[in-house]
Structure 1
Amino acid sequence: MKALIIKSPWIDMIFEGKKTWEIRGSNTKIRGKIALIKSGSGMIYGEINLVESIELSLTDYQENRRFHGVASEAAGELPYKRTYAWVLDKPRIYKEPVPYKHPMGAVIWVRLTE
């Protein structure tokens, strides 16, 4: 299984159902169930379904703040040259976070061993 590394407070907003788009500077072909790692914690906090990756225009980004949670004053321009919304669905937080071994160089994705 793959795990996506996400910083706070964004990961908390995802688990609370307040954020269903993860904004990234690259497209992804990964779909299905993935784990979520809180950046810097060394722990997997839960799972989510990654259902789609959509390239956004500035208008898309500005008109859909309710999905990505970026404050309006920070939405005046796209955060990346090419900006994508990774669409997330069905968050499931674990009762207890699960430790994992962080590989050197992993910044966005971690391949988890079962």
Structure 2
Amino acid sequence: MKISKGLIIADPWIGYILDRSKTWEMRSSSASHRGWFGLIRKGTGAVYGVARLVDVGAPLSPAEMISVFERHRIPEGMIRSGEVAKWNVPWKLDGVLRLARSVPYRHQSGAVTWVQFDDAVSEAIARQLNTPSETDVSVPPSPRAVKTTSHEPRRSSLAPAEHAVHASQLSSSSSRTAGALIGEVTLTQGNIDHNHIYLRSFFERFPEDAVGGSNRHERARRDVLVEWGGPVPVRTDLDGSKRFFRARGWIRDFFVSNEAQAGDRVRIEETAPYCYRVSLKKRAR
């Protein structure tokens, strides 16, 4: 398969596409192209994955965009504010694959929608696509659609797959580097029974733009990535009212796999910007 063109997409939208929680890339105009293209992370000069453009929908009204949040991942607040008013044409994607190694390309001068790749770039992409790798493993489908965009976050606890990212997709710094300690907290039986970890004593150490309101309709502008020792890290924002991670489905598995008991301590480390590692320290018995 030859990929001859690419599309530049900014964070966090390209991240959502690569972890397959976003299937519509919202653009300001239609496209005649159908088929495969490269996913270029804005500002990096490199291709990070590939996707297939299968269809382009009609422009959506703000109300329509809000109703299909799970497709594009743009928060309701951004839509209502008019900040993304012109980005209302859904480019519908399928078959997303993350490359094991990003492929640099030479960007031609001038503003263009599609970036044309030279043969060397196309061949470098093709070599990775023709070689089986852990990036070819599918993320399990969400058991239920949730509201989500091409411009930002929001996830429901009803759709755990929306929070999951393959461990291979973590940056090497987040999975291998010793992290900076954010804080430690002692578990109570209530934490274990209700699947949450209180972050109150060090909550101010998390970035402000990753802190949302008290419910899923008040999500933060940005998510954090949590590595907890399981097969898949988790994307979530933080509940600013209750002061814990909003996504909590993974916490039960974390407690079970570590045989957590009241009195044990949970350690939170920052391994990279917006990336955290959660581990358990057993209480001396």
User: Is the TM-score greater than 0.5?
Assistant: yes
Task: Please state how far the C-alpha of 1:83 moved relative to its aligned partner.
Answer: 2.5
Q: Distance in 2 between matches of 1:88 and 1:98?
A: 21
Task: Please state how far the C-alpha of 1:41 moved relative to its aligned partner.
Answer: 0.1
Query: Aligned match of 1:93 in 83, 90, 98?
Result: 98
Q: Distance in 1 between matches of 2:14 and 2:52?
A: 14
**Percent of pairs with identical residues:** 33
Point out 4+ residue stretches in structure 1 off by more than 4 angstroms: none
* Contact map agreement 1:5 1:107 (CA 8 A) in 2: no
Confirm or deny that 1:67 pairs with 2:62. Answer: no
Letter in 1 for 2:108: P
* Contact map agreement 1:53 1:87 (CA 8 A) in 2: yes
Query: Aligned match of 2:85 in 74, 79, 85?
Result: 79
Letter in 2 for 1:16: D
SS, match of residue 94 in structure 1: strand
Query: Aligned match of 2:47 in 44, 47, 53?
Result: 44
Query: Aligned match of 1:28 in 10, 27, 31?
Result: 31
CA offsets per residue over residues 68-91 of structure 1, 9 Å max, x none? 0001111225621x8310001111
SS, match of residue 60 in structure 1: helix
What's the Cα RMSD here?
1.5
The aligned counterpart of 2:258 is none
Q: Distance in 2 between matches of 1:107 and 1:19?
A: 23
Structure 2: tracts of 5 or more residues without a match:
120-285
The aligned counterpart of 1:103 is 108
Task: Please state how far the C-alpha of 1:107 moved relative to its aligned partner.
Answer: 4.2
The normalised TM-score by structure 2 is: 0.38
* Contact map agreement 1:32 1:51 (CA 8 A) in 2: yes
Compare CA radii of gyration and give the structure with the larger one: 2
SS, match of residue 56 in structure 1: coil
SS, match of residue 26 in structure 1: coil
The normalised TM-score by structure 1 is: 0.92
Q: More displaced, 70-79 or 97-106? A: 70-79
Q: Distance in 2 between matches of 1:13 and 1:90?
A: 14
Q: Which has the higher contact order (CA 8 A, sep 6+)?
A: 1
Structure 1: tracts of 5 or more residues without a match:
none
Letter in 2 for 1:105: G
Q: Distance in 2 between matches of 1:6 and 1:61?
A: 19
Q: Distance in 2 between matches of 1:19 and 1:85?
A: 11
Task: Please state how far the C-alpha of 1:56 moved relative to its aligned partner.
Answer: 2.7
The aligned counterpart of 2:281 is none
Greater fraction of residues in helix: 2
